[in-house]
Amino acid sequence: MGASAREIERQIRETRDRIDANLRRLESRAASSATRYGLIGAAVVAALAVGGAAFLIYRRRAPGRARRPERGTLSRIVRQVAPALAAAASTALVRRLSRLSRPTHETAR
């Protein structure tokens, strides 16, 4: 009966080791995917920021174009709020990316 109990314990240990290895592999994949998507998001935000800045510079410097009168309150609000929203989004993204890039410490078993 002792040999049977030892065999069961060995099988349990092997199964746990396999499960732990699979979990580590899955965690690694999830981390690399999160990093990849974070970088893609950062690139999109950066491209939008550069494109928006280029558009604003173009509008201010375009020669021979008569200025249109103010469209109204909504247009004024959007122009005032858009930079704050862009700054908040980029700050949140940078914080998220910095959190993802920190090394994680596995607990010792």
| Every domain of the chain and the residues it spans | 2-101
The answer for residues whose C-beta is within 8 angstroms of residue 48's C-beta and 6 or more apart is 86
Q: What gap in Å lies between CA 71 and CA 76, rounded to an integer?
A: 8
Taking the C-alpha atoms of 84, 89, 90 and 93 in order, what is their torsion angle to the nearest 10 degrees?
A: 160
Give the pTM: 0.39
User: How much is the pLDDT for 64?
Assistant: 64
Q: How many CA atoms lie within 13 Å of 13's alpha carbon, on the beta-carbon side?
A: 6
Q: What gap in Å lies between CA 33 and CA 36, rounded to an integer?
A: 5
User: How much is the pLDDT for 13?
Assistant: 95
Regions of the chain where pLDDT drops below 70: 1-2, 63-71, 101-109
